[in-house]
Copies of this chain bind each other. A is one copy, B any other.
């Protein structure tokens, strides 16, 4: 396996970052994670080699909103031995073999009884399914259906050497400090065992993105959250009520390593700036991304977008969860994701961040008639040329819509020009004293004290 720190740069930023993300995802892949336990800690320790993570430990039994932090679960070993004593299933081969949060068992039983505890996928008979039972006590194992069919009658020895005990729920957080008091939330779930796309890809991508942001002065704080799905998000929300009103934008990141999509699911608000920015990015540069309305099934946007919080948090994916055959099976492995796709996913998220960072609301200081651009060297000297006007279109659009009701992204969308061209035109107009910056509005629509950088 390639070492993350010895990868040679190719010179192409997107390719390079894709290779680095892949290497980190590959490093995370073998670890046996669940919603609690040492696998989460080991994952955070690997991520912590790249970014300055803070690790939080929340005790079992802690009330988090309507939920309670469960007992911590760890598994040391698990196997099935056939009547001849041969291991026909071994946790050491693949950590999907054990039902998440399975009870412990050490027993000998006939095949018929064993079968009732074994989960398979008859329609994908060579794949091991991923199954969990967090809140209902049972023991279980998962295996390929074809392997199950080959088992002969007889007495089988089953071992699941797992332990549920009072302990902690563990999650990691990293904050890149920006110039304002407003936050962008970026979150990836850390609770899935050896599933590469879902969600080693998201964990690795966000870690590399956090690392890249360190070199950059930003307007926003970027809060990176690596926490178990559902219970982790609920735990964070329950413990950080003071920070919630500061979240202006958010993105859940999962399944970002395959070549599908890209897909973006809007926040419940439906037209927050992150929704507009992702829609813009997923349709720029020839990408034909798919934009879906919010629905309450999926990843942790379910919690952030519950009606009591209703945060502007969307979901970014390549293939949408549940729609690709590898989903929640052993086929979601390191062959299913690629540096190329991880790199392009990274690019799209970074493009959206660029918009969040560079977006502002201009006010035309010469709103009556057009200001004379030519005198300021902003306009072609020669009139009458059909193409002359086109080069000045960015200026004209920005000036015309700089009434305090349009952000640069709004102007890009109305003009069908690129956000970069509009942002560049606005910057030049600002430098020439033709624009001022409107006081920033936070998501709730009230003026905040944070200025654009």
Contacts and interface: CB of A to CB of B under 8 A. Distances in A.
Nearest to A130: B384
A437 interface: no
Interface stretch (A46-54, A298-306, A340-348): A298-306
A260 interface: no
A386 interface: yes
A397 B307 CA distance: 11
Interface stretch (A86-94, A177-185, A218-226, A361-369): A361-369
B322 A368 contact: no
A3 to B, nearest CB: 32
B369 A234 contact: yes
B369 A399 contact: no
Given A322-B386, A364-B308, A415 B295 contact: yes
Interface in A344-374: 364, 366-372, 374
A389 B296 CA distance: 10
A22 B443 CA distance: 57
Contacts of A131: 382-385
A401 interface: yes
A444 interface: no
A307 B364 contact: yes
Interface string A31-59: 00000000000000000000000000000
A344 to B, nearest CB: 26
A148 interface: no
Query: Which of the listed residues A136, A305, A322, A400 has the most CB atoms from chain B within 10 Å of its own CB?
Result: A400
A129 interface: yes
Nearest to A237: B369
Contacts of A303: 369-370
Main secondary structure on chain A at its contact with chain B? loop
Interface in A267-295: 268, 293, 295
A149 interface: no
Contacts of A366: 65-66, 308
Contacts of A138: 381
B307 A400 contact: yes
A233 interface: yes
Contacts of A381: 133, 135-136, 138
Contacts of A382: 131-133, 136
A404 to B, nearest CB: 9
Interface of A: 65-67, 100, 129-136, 138, 230, 233-234, 237-238, 268, 293, 295-297, 302-303, 305-310, 322, 327-328, 364, 366-372, 374-375, 381-386, 389, 392-393, 396-397, 399-403, 414-415
Given A135-B381, A308-B367, 11 more contacts: A131-B384, A132-B383, A133-B381, A133-B383, A135-B372, A237-B369, A296-B397, A307-B367, A307-B399, A307-B401, A328-B385
